């Protein structure tokens, strides 16, 4: 069932694999390569139709300089941080508690509550667009970072709870029983026994949620507008003037916006992969 | 700055300067708060708007100007809400049919009495566009011209001159085609560019009044006069005058054709000039002419989308709002806000002066002196939104498959009967 490793295949197969791989990679990365080269092109290239040729001049410093010093980009980046970090903290904190409750206590409706958390994940979020917008408007949270953060926490907690509950279920239950026999209060069991054991799950979940929220575009557009509250994903379009799309600046902005999650991925690669599979098998 | 005052206009300007000085004395009595919501959210316009608010605030010591700037696109969906719940005093919007829903809903204030003041005679070119039911509902602060931007150097190479009639236009185009180039670049991917062509061919064939009547749904799309418009347009399409596969390009993606000399002209708004200059077309290579005459019996009508200020019908500080409208329409303010370092467009006030830019000057002259038919606001502003979207799809289809005309017109006529009821 599992594919045979390449080194065990015939030589002919290996050679064709090795020669095909670069092409596949290039085709797959083409959009990214295009964005990267667009970001160092002068504006004139786009007017002259020079999309794929050699850049007319090397404008790395001009374009990125304008992104950082002559636009609202730093503010949008800061917004992204101010939205993403509280969301990660909030969602992880809430879900480790719900996960603990659902994973450790046996009570009526436990499974029902758990299923409701899971069911929330299956609601396509486009359906929520209008009601959530109306809700934030009525709560006077429309176009504020708080509104976006609260919604993200609420929405992400469902998935996080599934993840945490399954992880806590997999912990050796005798540890908790032993603590109870010692007469330790429940909240101290959570804090001193369970939480330290959950560290890998907390790290994995934090990395995962960070990338989800940082890359969110949909809710950023639905719930916020303008540089006061909008995160960087939505702010990139502010390079466009009323009539013209500034492809070179949007590309440079996109690269800048993509750097934090990419860095996060490389720095925390181990946790990230763990995170993708952690909740999968109980 | 180069002034192109005409003598009588200069006199008018002087008179209105005196008048506004008089106002300044009498209106320091304005007090309270003036709330403005503006959609000038792009960087340069934003600076202009903030400057205007600050200046007006300073002119009236007892008045506090409170300015809120809303994203330009977002404003299109927010304006109704903003005008009905807790309305501000002054808002930005657009002229002509775009203001109709708000006028009908009673959300804009009738400002006809401002237009009766003598200073407003200098704004005559857009008076029609600001008028609904014989009353005026706002004031313009900026517009920009449309017209044919063409490659002067290629025209010279081929020995062509700016056409003033349709026959000359067609003859020029044939010469250009014979030289192995296309006559016009256009990108109809987002449809609206085709609307520009229809506005011009239709208004030159049947006149401004007919065009606006069609926009108001008073004329059938299957009318023989509408067909005449499409017949004229088809002349060019059948010649192969437009670039191939134009339905796959945005207006910006169609620029390389004129910049590289594969096409020689572009029917566009003046905002295209900055882009073409970036592409290396300086004033020796790029020039402008007014869309030529097709039917000599009708006067020139020009596309010049106009941006406006309005007073909300629920405004609380009406006196200050009116004074602000006088302020933004004064020749001095219109000159400054439309300058090359600000909006880079045309002042509507004929007494204003314009920057020393070939295209701005030609446009200002054209709109102030040679647009006797009227000022159109562009297809997607003159026609109701729904009709415009069906209409522009039809126009694009016509440009690609001109044989489908009967189908297209029948479909547009269906849409007209449904939309205007």
Mutate to test the interface with B, among A38, A42, A49, A222 (most CBs of B within 10 A): A49
Beta bridge partner(s), residue B143: B306, B346
Inside any domain, residue A1: no
pLDDT tens-digit map of B1-20: 344 444 444 444 444 444 44
Task: State how many domains chain A has.
Answer: 2
What domains lie within chain B, and their CATH numbers?
7-144+306-356 (3.40.190.10), 146-302+384-420 (3.40.190.10)
> Residue range B278-307: average pLDDT?
94
Q: Would the CB atoms of B257 and A49 count as touching at under 8 Å? A: yes
- Pick from A68, A97, A122: which residue ends a domain? A68
Q: How far is B197 from chain A (nearest CA, A)?
A: 18
Q: Which of A43, A48, A225 sits opposite B256 (nearest CB)?
A: A48
Inside any domain, residue A128: yes
pLDDT tens-digit map of B360-397: 999 999 998 898 888 999 998 899 889 999 999 999 99
> Which residue in chain A has the smallest CA separation from B72?
A242
**Using an 8 Å Cβ cutoff, are B271 and B45 in contact?**
no
Q: Would the CB atoms of A243 and B70 count as touching at under 8 Å? A: no
Sign, CA dihedral B118-B119-B122-B124, equals: negative
**Using an 8 Å Cβ cutoff, are B1 and B353 in contact?**
yes
Residue-level pLDDT at B143: 93
Specify the 3-state DSSP secondary structure of B39: coil
Residue environment code for B201-229, b if the CB has 16+ CB neighbours within 10 A, otherwise e: bbbbbbbbebbbebbebebebeeeebebb
**Using an 8 Å Cβ cutoff, are B402 and B240 in contact?**
no
**A98 and A210 housed in the same domain:** yes
Q: The domain that contains A224 carries what CATH number? A: 1.10.3720.10
Q: In this structure, how many other beta carbons lie within 10 angstroms of the beta carbon of residue A55?
A: 15
**A60 and A178 housed in the same domain:** no
Q: Would the CB atoms of B256 and A243 count as touching at under 8 Å? A: no
* Contacts A241 to B, Cβ<8 Å: 42-43
Q: Quick one: pLDDT band at residue B138, thresholds 50, 70, 90?
A: very high
> Which residue in chain A has the smallest CA separation from B256?
A48
Residue indicated by tokens 């009595």: B29
Q: Would the CB atoms of B72 and A244 count as touching at under 8 Å? A: no
Edge-to-edge order in the sheet of strand B63-69:
B63-69, B32-38, B90-94, B306-311, B139-143
Q: How far is A47 from chain B (nearest CA, A)?
A: 5
**A95 and A37 housed in the same domain:** no
Residue B108 phi, psi dihedral angles, 5° rounding: -100, 150
Q: In this structure, how many other beta carbons lie within 10 angstroms of the beta carbon of residue B115?
A: 21
CA neighbours closer than 13 Å in the CB half-sphere of residue B359 = 26
Chain B interface, Cβ < 8 Å to A: 41-43, 45, 70-72, 74, 250, 252-253, 255-257, 259-260, 269, 271-272, 274-276, 278-280
**A171 and A186 housed in the same domain:** yes
- Percent of chain B's residues with pLDDT above 70: 93
Separation CA B136–CA B322 (nearest Å): 13
* Contacts A243 to B, Cβ<8 Å: 269, 271-272
**A196 and A100 housed in the same domain:** yes
For A156-217, the DSSP string reads: HHHHHHHHHHHHHHHS-HHHHHHHHHTT--HHHIIIIIIHHHTHHHHHHHHHHHHHHHHT--
Q: For A76-90, B35-49, B291-305, which range has the lowest pLDDT when averaged over its residues?
A: B35-49
- Pick from A32, A51, A68: which residue ends a domain? A68
**A82 and A46 housed in the same domain:** no
Give the angle A96-A100-A104 at the CA atoms, nearest 5°. Answer: 165
* Contacts A225 to B, Cβ<8 Å: 70-71, 74
Residue-level pLDDT at B26: 47
Name the residue range of residue A11's domain: 6-68
Residue-level pLDDT at A279: 54
**A54 and A98 housed in the same domain:** no
Separation CA A173–CA A80 (nearest Å): 39
% helix / strand / coil in chain B, to the nearest 5?
Answer: 50, 15, 30
**A18 and A86 housed in the same domain:** no
pLDDT tens-digit map of B45-67: 888 999 999 999 999 999 999 99
Find all residues with CB under 8 Å of A17, minimum gap 6, and list them: A6, A9
Q: Report which of A245, A222, A246, A243 is spatially closest to residue A233, judged by C-alpha positions.
A: A222
Q: Report which of B109, B146, B108, B114 is spatially closest to residue B127, judged by C-alpha positions.
A: B114
**A170 and A190 housed in the same domain:** yes
Q: What is the pLDDT along chain A (282 residues), one digit of tens a residue?
A: 467 777 788 888 889 988 999 999 999 999 999 999 999 999 888 888 888 888 888 999 999 998 888 888 899 999 999 999 999 999 999 999 999 999 999 999 999 999 999 998 888 888 998 999 899 989 999 889 999 999 999 999 999 999 899 999 988 899 999 999 999 999 999 999 999 988 888 988 998 899 999 999 999 988 887 778 889 998 887 787 778 888 899 999 999 999 999 998 888 887 777 766 665 554
Sign, CA dihedral B153-B157-B162-B165, equals: negative
Q: Report which of A213, A234, A205, A204 is spatially closest to residue A87, judged by C-alpha positions.
A: A213
- Pick from A68, A84, A112: which residue ends a domain? A68
> Which residue in chain A has the smallest CA separation from B268?
A243
Task: Take residue B151 and report the two structure tokens written for it.
Answer: 């490659």
**A76 and A143 housed in the same domain:** yes
**A64 and A86 housed in the same domain:** no
Q: Which of B42, B271, B279 sits opposite A47 (nearest CB)?
A: B279
> Which residue in chain B has the smallest CA separation from A244?
B252
Separation CA A134–CA A129 (nearest Å): 9
Separation CA B360–CA B339 (nearest Å): 10
Q: How far is A45 from chain B (nearest CA, A)?
A: 7
**A64 and A169 housed in the same domain:** no
Residue B419 has pLDDT above 60, yes or no: yes
Separation CA A82–CA A230 (nearest Å): 10
Greatest pairwise CA separation for chain A in angstroms = 78
Task: Take residue B64 and report the two structure tokens written for it.
Answer: 């506090």
Q: In this structure, how many other beta carbons lie within 10 angstroms of the beta carbon of residue A132?
A: 18
Inside any domain, residue A131: yes
The CA-atom distances, in angstroms, between B57 and each of B32, B92, B331 are: 11, 18, 19
Residue B164 has pLDDT above 60, yes or no: yes
> Residue range B138-146: average pLDDT?
95
Residue-level pLDDT at B98: 87
**Using an 8 Å Cβ cutoff, are B279 and B272 in contact?**
no
pLDDT tens-digit map of B241-275: 999 999 999 999 999 999 999 999 999 999 999 88
């Amino acid at each position: 069932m599992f594919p045979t490793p390449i080194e065990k295949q015939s030589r002919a197969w290996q050679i064709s694999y090795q020669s095909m791989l670069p092409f596949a990679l290039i085709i797959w990365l083409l959009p990214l390569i295009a964005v990267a080269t667009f970001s160092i092109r002068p504006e004139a290239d786009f007017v002259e139709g020079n999309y794929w040729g050699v850049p007319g001049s090397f404008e790395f410093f001009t374009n990125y300089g304008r992104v950082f010093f002559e636009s609202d980009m730093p503010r949008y980046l800061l917004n992204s941080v101010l939205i993403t970090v509280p969301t990660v903290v909030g969602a992880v904190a809430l879900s480790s508690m719900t996960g603990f409750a659902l994973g450790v206590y046996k009570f009526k409706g436990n499974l029902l509550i758990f299923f409701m958390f899971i069911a929330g994940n299956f609601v396509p979020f486009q359906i929520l667009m209008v009601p959530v917008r109306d809700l934030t408007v009525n709560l006077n949270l429309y176009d504020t970072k708080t509104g976006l953060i609260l919604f993200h926490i609420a929405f992400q907690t469902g998935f996080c709870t599934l993840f945490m509950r399954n992880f806590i279920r997999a912990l050796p239950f005798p540890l908790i029983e032993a603590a109870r026999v010692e007469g330790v209060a429940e909240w101290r069991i959570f804090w001193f026994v369970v939480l330290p054991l959950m560290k890998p799950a907390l790290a994995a979940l934090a990395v995962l949620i960070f990338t989800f929220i940082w890359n969110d575009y949909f809710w950023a557009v639905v719930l916020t507008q303008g540089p006061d509250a909008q995160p960087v994903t939505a702010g990139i379009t502010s390079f466009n003037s009323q009539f013209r799309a500034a492809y070179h600046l949007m590309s440079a902005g996109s690269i800048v916006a993509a750097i934090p999650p990419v860095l996060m991925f490389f720095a925390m690669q181990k946790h990230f992969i763990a995170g993708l599979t952690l909740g999968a098998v109980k | 700055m180069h002034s192109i005052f005409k003598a009588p206009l200069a006199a008018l300007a002087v008179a209105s300067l005196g008048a506004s000085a008089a106002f300044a004395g009498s209106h320091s009595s304005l007090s309270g708060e003036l709330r403005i919501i503006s959609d000038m959210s792009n960087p340069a316009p934003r600076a202009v708007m903030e400057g205007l608010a600050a200046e007006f605030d300073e002119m009236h010591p007892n008045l506090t100007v409170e300015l809120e700037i809303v994203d330009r696109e977002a404003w299109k969906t927010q304006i109704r809400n903003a005008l009905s719940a807790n309305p501000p005093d002054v808002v930005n919007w657009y002229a002509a049919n775009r203001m109709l829903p708000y006028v009908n809903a009673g959300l804009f204030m009738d400002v006809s009495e401002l237009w009766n003041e003598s200073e407003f005679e200098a704004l005559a070119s857009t008076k029609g566009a600001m008028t609904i039911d014989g009353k005026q509902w706002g004031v313009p602060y900026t517009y920009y011209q449309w017209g044919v931007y063409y490659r002067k150097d290629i025209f010279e190479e081929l020995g062509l001159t700016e056409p003033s009639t349709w026959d000359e236009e067609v003859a020029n185009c044939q010469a250009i085609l014979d030289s192995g180039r296309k006559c016009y670049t256009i990108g109809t991917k987002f449809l609206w560019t085709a609307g520009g062509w229809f506005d011009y061919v239709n208004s030159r064939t049947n006149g401004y009044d007919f065009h606006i009547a069609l926009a108001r749904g008073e004329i059938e799309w299957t009318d023989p006069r509408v067909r005449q418009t499409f017949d004229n347009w088809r002349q060019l399409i059948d010649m192969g005058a437009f670039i191939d596969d134009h339905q796959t390009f945005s207006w910006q993606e169609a620029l390389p054709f004129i910049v590289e000399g594969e096409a020689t002209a572009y029917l566009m708004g003046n905002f295209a000039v900055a882009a073409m200059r970036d592409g290396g077309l300086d004033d020796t290579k790029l020039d402008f002419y007014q869309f030529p005459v097709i039917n000599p019996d009708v006067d020139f009508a020009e596309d010049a989308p106009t941006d406006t200020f309005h007073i909300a019908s629920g405004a609380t500080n009406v006196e200050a709002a009116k004074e602000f409208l006088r302020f933004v329409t004064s020749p001095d303010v219109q000159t400054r806000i439309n300058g090359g370092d600000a909006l880079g467009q045309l002042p509507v006030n004929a007494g204003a002066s314009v920057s020393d830019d070939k295209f701005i000057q030609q446009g200002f002259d054209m709109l102030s002196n040679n647009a006797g038919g009227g000022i159109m606001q562009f297809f997607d502003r003159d026609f109701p939104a729904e009709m415009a979207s069906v209409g522009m799809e039809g126009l694009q289809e016509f440009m690609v498959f001109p044989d489908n005309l009967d189908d297209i017109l029948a479909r547009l006529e269906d849409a007209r009967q449904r939309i205007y009821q």
